[in-house]
Amino acid sequence: AQSVTQPDIHITVSEGASLELRCNYSYGATPYLFWYVQSPGQGLQLLLKYFSGDTLVQGIKGFEAEFKRSQSSFNLRKPSVHWSDAAEYFCAVAPMEYGNKLVFGAGTILRVKS
């Protein structure tokens, strides 16, 4: 069965510093890949997605992610973090041939120091 691993439960960065959140997946073929963000007590908002083509995808709020097939990874990055980026971030995958079973990672909580 496919699985998604986010190795970091919590990450703390200083405002203005760069950010990388890790995501690894286990699946036999390249799935669709997503990053979502969740503010406390709220629903999830899509940051970006990868379906095919260019392995570096741009999203909202200045985020980007790079798909690396050889490493089965889809890491999220941001060059300069703002205090408003503090939230929980979820990586998710969906198989291409049958899209119902979107599988989420456990999430990474980002704290931003001022």
Partner 1 sequence: DGGITQSPKYLFRKEGQNVTLSCEQNLNHDAMYWYRQDPGQGLRLIYYSQIVNDFQKGDIAEGYSVSREKKESFPLTVTSAQKNPTAFYLCASRARATSGANVLTFGAGSRLTVL
Instruction: List the structure tokens of 101.
Output: 């079973």
| Pick 37 or 81: Cβ nearer partner 1 | 37
Task: Measure the CA dihedral 46/54/78/95, to 10°.
Answer: 40
Q: Show contacts with partner 1 in window 40-59 (CB under 8 A).
A: 41-46, 49, 51
How many of the chain's residues bind partner 1 (CB under 8 A)?
Answer: 28
Phi and psi dihedrals of 69, rounded to 5?
A: -60, -40
**Is 96 an interacting residue with respect to partner 1 (CB under 8 A)?**
yes
Residues in the chain, overall count:
114
2 vs 73, beta carbon nearer partner 1: 2
- Please report whether residue 32 would count as binding partner 1 according to CB under 8 A: yes
Largest Cα separation within the chain, whole Å, is 44
69 vs 98, beta carbon nearer partner 1: 98
User: Would you state the structure tokens that stand for residue 50, as one six-digit string?
Assistant: 């990868």
Closest approach, Cβ 100 to partner 1, in A, equals 6
- DSSP SS3 for 69: helix
Q: Which residues bind partner 1 (CB under 8 A)?
A: 4, 9, 31-32, 34, 36, 41-46, 49, 51, 90, 94-102, 104-107
